[in-house]
Amino acid sequence: MSIQLIPQKTQLEINLAAIDAPLVLVENCVKTAIHNLNDSFSKFWNLPDDQIEEIMNSQGIEKLQSIFEAHFRYANEFNTLLENRGIDQPRAITSKPREITVDQNGVISLVPLPTPEPQPSSEEPIIGETTTEETN
């Protein structure tokens, strides 16, 4: 059995580690805050459209705008805090996934998502393609 010697830290290394330890705790708190912010964002925007609209209309445009602006500010600040420490992940979501409209009566509606183009089935030839029957 061999005995391994553990190198002793210098006083400078001890001091630097003591200074950095609270910053690591703050970074972990920021990462947790990003997770919570993204989780809330996803839960809201993954609801069915009618439920999103019901929530938005129950809050009114002023409060809704305030909530969206707060999310955006928090997300940007959290991202900047981590970037300044050289940490690129996780990232807080900073984009708005859907457009909304407000009519003259103040009713808030989601702009419908574009319907995806139908994909050709594997049995139908794509326009411009020749099938084996056409070439014989």
Q: Whole-model pTM? A: 0.71
Cα-to-chain-centroid distance, residue 129: 41
Q: Helices in the chain by DSSP H: which ranges? A: 11-45, 49-84, 132-135
Secondary structure letter of residue 123 according to DSSP: T
What confidence tens digit (pLDDT) does each residue in 47-95 have? 999 999 999 999 998 998 999 999 999 999 999 999 999 998 999 999 8
When pLDDT is cut at 50, 70 and 90, the band that residue 4 belongs to is confident
pLDDT for res 114: 84
